[in-house]
Amino acid sequence: MDNIQVFMRIRPLSEDEFKRDRSAESAVHVLADNTVSIPSQRSENFVFDFVGREDSTQEDVFDAIGRRAVERCIQGYNGTIFAYGQTGSGKTFTMQGARDEFTGPDDELRGLIPRCFEHLFHRIAEEEARTAGRVKYLCRASYIEIYNETIYDLLDPMTRTCAVREDIKRGVFVDGVTEETVQDPTEAYDVFVRGTTNRHVSATSMNRESSRSHSVLMLVIQSLTQMDTGLTEIREARFNLVDLAGSERQKLANTSGMRLKEAANINKSLSTLGNVINSLVDISNGKSRHVNYRDSKLTFLLRDSLGGNSVTFIIANVSPAMCNDAETASTLRFAQRAKMIRNKAVVNQDMHGNVPQLQAEIQRLKAQLAQLKGPQSAGGLSPNGTLRSPCFGEMPLPPVSASGLDAAAASAPTAHQEHRTTQYLLILAMRKLRETERQKARYAETILELRNTINRHRRQLHQQKMVLKLKAAEVAAMRRNAPLAYVATAENAALREEITALQSALSAQPDYSDLLIENLQMREDLEYYAENAAAHDGELPKKSDAVQALEALVISAAFSTDFQGAFPIIPDDNVYLGLEEKIKQSQHHINDLELQRDKLEFQINSIEEDWQYVNDGARRLADAATDAARAEIAETTMDSIVGDQARDTWQAIASVFTQRL
């Protein structure tokens, strides 16, 4: 059992970060070659297998990680390198390098991927030469992107999306993904560049950012060794180079539509990764836990890399800036936890040969078994012709022909060598048997998990139906209460009409000032007449009497009934303002009610739509005749669903139908 190896890499401070912090002080303090802390976050000390400082070169990182990973893959072990960290922390720089193009082995800034290609093919050439051609290597490369919980084939962007599947023979694999044979670093790098270009093109045309998706470059390294017996030993290692999406949590607030779905899926896949790691850490500490690998495409696909059959390396990339110290601390905590996971890597090997060769080998082995293993040994032949194994108890042996025994006796000088071959083949058989047992246990676990999920979703479905009913009742009640809204609207309309009438009456009324002007005019006239009255005393009334009379006339005229009828009453200003305020309040109230109604209707519609998709999809799944058709229905239905609960339910239903999704 080997722990996952964790390497931390601090990138140099960027210009923007320097401007923002106005300081070049690093948030990360390197205390020793493998120990760091973040004082501004009052963090504990973090201990890793290797700490790459700001001035670490790409060559340093390759020497610490890439070279070791390639060596293990050449021997037949699975290997994985993950680059983890917040957006902009240097994941792509570490994995790919500074440029999108491959400028050759002299480029100092090329990353782990090109360097691994170079070392891999250099070692293959060495091994083939050392064994004088008895060992031959074959490499295949594929390249995928996981975005929004969907797998895209980056080497064939025109194809539909791919599905992750599992079977006893191949383990977990991406079904239908393009695999290209590569024979040297340039061919391998060409595959990588093509995939990267397709990723950028898709990102631009589909309006998505590469920092929001995971990319996985997968190499299958097969070695074929020709044995003296005529049999061929096949070793197969899978080497995954993974550039993860930015590890910061995506904000769901003020996000909607595709962006909301995207952010929710990134959070989901990252939190699943965190949950898987937490469960594995618990298991390493002796607790019994179920690991939910199937909760995200990434963890399911890379199941072996986390707690399984793989030599795994995690590179925790961080920024040194003070403004990123919280994210940096979070990355280091994640990496610290991941370091506790224990993997069990074994060489993946198998034997192949034609039927006569295999039959001959079996005969020879049977003979050796009969000859070399006595009934006294811990594992050996019992008198009744069965093989006692320490692991499996008594197992019946295939019949041994007399000629086989004779042949074995005749070949006594090579008995020791053949005994070793027998042991070797038996170990292989045992391993296979154990692997099958483990697989069976895993299937049983998965079935149990699915049953639990289905039951949980049944309960959720029931609850959702209840919620739906309640919401429908609420809407019905709102609709019943709608007369209130109508009353308010009618009241509002009546008030508006009243105001319009008042305004038109106001404009139709002769201006009071006109009357005053007329009054003043008349006063002037009166003064004129009064001045002349002295000359004509006795003919005209006195000036003061005339003014009084005129004023009395005006006042009495202004309040006479006839006058009131001719000029509508001007409302008081306060009444007018009060009315306007009332109208405004009614309008707000109506708007609120309408908003609430729209919101509820929208929620109900999306729930109903989701369930419609789920039901339709389930019906179509039941009718679908082939696995491929079922997988397609499962994928397209999933894309159409927005709500999380409906998605979970659909995943459970779809996986029951398709069994392997």
Ligand X SMILES: Nc1ncnc2c1ncn2[C@@H]1O[C@H](COP(=O)(O)OP(=O)(O)OP(=O)(O)O)[C@@H](O)[C@H]1O
Binding-site annotation, residues for ATP: 85-92
Helix (H) or strand (E) holding 598: helix 573-623
Tell me if residue 537 falls in helix, strand or coil.
Answer: strand
Residue with smaller CB distance to ligand X, 96 or 336:
96
Distance of alpha carbon 329 from alpha carbon 459, whole angstroms? 39
**Which phi and psi (to 5°) does residue 601 adopt?**
-65, -40
The footprint of ligand X (CB under 6 A) covers 11-12, 85, 87-93, 98, 210-211, 246, 317
Binding residues: 85-92
Residue with smaller CB distance to ligand X, 317 or 368:
317
Cβ 180 vs Cβ 189: under 8 Å? no
Distance of alpha carbon 155 from alpha carbon 270, whole angstroms? 25
Cβ 642 vs Cβ 606: under 8 Å? yes
Residue with smaller CB distance to ligand X, 98 or 622:
98
Q: Which of 274, 627, 295, 606 is nearest to 467 (CA)?
A: 606
Residue with smaller CB distance to ligand X, 92 or 453:
92
Residue with smaller CB distance to ligand X, 246 or 308:
246
Residue with smaller CB distance to ligand X, 11 or 647:
11
CB of 373 to ligand X, least distance (A): 58
Cβ atoms within 10 Å of 569's Cβ, excluding its own: 9
Residue with smaller CB distance to ligand X, 73 or 315:
315
CB of 96 to ligand X, least distance (A): 8
Chain centroid to CA 62: how far? 28
- The alpha-helical segments, DSSP class H, found in 32-102 are 58-61, 67-74, 91-95
What is the largest distance, in Å, between two alpha-carbon atoms of the chain? Answer: 175
Residue with smaller CB distance to ligand X, 136 or 268:
268
Distance of alpha carbon 208 from alpha carbon 284, whole angstroms? 38
**End-to-end Cα distance, the chain:** 30
CB of 36 to ligand X, least distance (A): 16
Distance of alpha carbon 439 from alpha carbon 454, whole angstroms? 22
Tell me if residue 265 falls in helix, strand or coil.
Answer: helix
CB of 226 to ligand X, least distance (A): 43
CB of 267 to ligand X, least distance (A): 15
Distance of alpha carbon 434 from alpha carbon 428, whole angstroms? 10
Is residue 556 packed enough to be buried (19+ CB in 10 Å), middle (13-18) or exposed (0-12)? exposed
Amino acid present at 43: S
CB of 318 to ligand X, least distance (A): 10
Cβ 116 vs Cβ 141: under 8 Å? no
3-state helix, strand, coil split of the chain in percent (to 5) is 55, 15, 25
Tell me if residue 218 falls in helix, strand or coil.
Answer: strand
Q: Which of 320, 165, 237 is nearest to 634 (CA)?
A: 165
CB of 247 to ligand X, least distance (A): 8
CB of 296 to ligand X, least distance (A): 18
CB of 194 to ligand X, least distance (A): 19
Residue with smaller CB distance to ligand X, 108 or 551:
108
DSSP notation for 433-460:
HHHHHHHHHHHHHHHHHHHHHHHHHHHH
Residue pointed to by tokens 């193009």: 101
CB of 299 to ligand X, least distance (A): 19
CB of 327 to ligand X, least distance (A): 11
Residue pointed to by tokens 């898987």: 276
Distance of alpha carbon 623 from alpha carbon 613, whole angstroms? 15
Task: Mention every residue, 6+ apart, whose C-beta is less than 8 A from residue 342.
Answer: 1, 2, 3, 4, 280, 284, 307
Tell me if residue 577 falls in helix, strand or coil.
Answer: helix
Tokens read off for 274: 């965190």
- The alpha-helical segments, DSSP class H, found in 509-542 are 512-533
Tokens read off for 646: 């409906």
Residue with smaller CB distance to ligand X, 76 or 85:
85
Kind of pairing between the strands at 214-226 and 46-47: unpaired
Cβ atoms within 10 Å of 86's Cβ, excluding its own: 21
Residue with smaller CB distance to ligand X, 59 or 623:
59
CB of 91 to ligand X, least distance (A): 4
Task: Mention every residue, 6+ apart, whose C-beta is less than 8 A from residue 306.
Answer: 4, 276, 277, 280, 293, 299, 312, 341, 343
CB of 102 to ligand X, least distance (A): 16
Residue with smaller CB distance to ligand X, 6 or 634:
6
Residue with smaller CB distance to ligand X, 115 or 303:
115
Residue with smaller CB distance to ligand X, 6 or 614:
6
CB of 114 to ligand X, least distance (A): 15
Cβ 8 vs Cβ 313: under 8 Å? no
Check residue 109 and give left, alpha or beta (phi > 0: left; psi -120 to 50: alpha). alpha
